Structure 1
Amino acid sequence: MTSEQSTPPQQQYAERSYRSPAALAGGGLLILLGLWLGGDALLRGVPQTKIMAAFALILGVPLVAAYTLRPLVRAGEDRLLVRNPFRTITLPWGAVDDLRAGFSAEVFTSGGKYQLWAVPVSLRQRKKANRQAARGANPRGRFGPQADAGPAPRAMADQTMDELREIKERAAHRESAKGEPVVRWAYGIIAPCVVGAVGLIVTMAL
């Protein structure tokens, strides 16, 4: 038996995950800075300062993580999972009407729209891609026509939305891709933020 015959068949589709590398890096640095400053206040501060530092960390660390580390878009074979700062939305592809990237990336359903925090839209990157595409449309150099430069460049957010639309088109008519959107609140993020905010307000009022 050959190696090809003994190898199990591969999946027809592999999930794709989208996150912002800049947000991950920035969020990690902010959390480390906050832990360093807050830890110093907890070790060296007076009692009231220690209490305020503790509540500031309880508020600040989850809040920074919510907006930088938590956002995620995962495109599965039948569903699109959107993890935003305080909510997780599961959307069967059959429930998705459209995907657009204007000033922000958004997914539209019959019940409304949801922002894709993990797919930031860079207008600067889009303008740069448009300029490169315009130069490619007129490829004459100083010494005559230039060789074909290949497909026109696209901004990262626009490329991501193109990929998601392609997955949606492939899945929209499958029975397993039908259903209603499911929204879940991220209470593990919300609860400590509320505790930290209330604690800070009470401590500062004393």
Structure 2
Amino acid sequence: MSMSGLTTREAGVESAALLDPALDRALLWQRLDVVGTDFAVVDQQLTAADGVALVGGVLPYCLHYRLRREPDGRCTMLSATAEGAGWHRQVNLRRDADQWRVDTHDSGDLDAALRRVGRAAAPLAGIDDTDRLDGVGEIAVARAPLFATLPRCDRAEAEPTNVRVGLVVPPSLAVVVVDSRRWLLPDGGMRMESDTGNATIAFDESGYVTHWPGVARRAPVHLS
């Protein structure tokens, strides 16, 4: 199923390279909400990032995302692919001038996989009205720790900041628009509040997430 006619060839090109070898910093988080891990590689300017998450639970799946941004932090492209046993979904968001284009690709049957584990059917990937994205200041993957790092590094402000976010929600890859309010704390952490939940997030000296309570924790470099 495609909202804007993503061809098989386009989908193949989009997923041809899993991780960009030009990205030179690697980060690994342990998931706290489910059994799983989230791995991302980024460049030093945070203008490009590729990530892979392995998510367990009753519906195990793999998530791959690719983000590209302007030096000022504006997102120009976010693609995400989720796949599990018997299903595959992809969503691509691209900014053309001041408008967003959203393409999706769907194969297999995610709803059947959800029914087998007693879960409700998933919404369609993407968003039915792209005009709703006109006012967003950020695009993010829900509960992916890299996307909490980005606002911390982009806006080092103690005063509360309100941002409208276009949120890609795995595993369905539906895109929802939420209003987020965040501000820096004296200890260097950040408070984030939105309709999808509230959290006080901790960061390292470089601004990368070390602990997002209930979501993810940076994996230790050495096991004790």
Q: Same fold (TM over 0.5)?
A: no
- Pick 1 or 2: higher relative contact order, CA cutoff 8 A, min separation 6: 1
Normalising by structure 2, we get a TM-score of: 0.23
Higher Cα Rg: structure 1 or 2? 1
Higher share in helix: 1
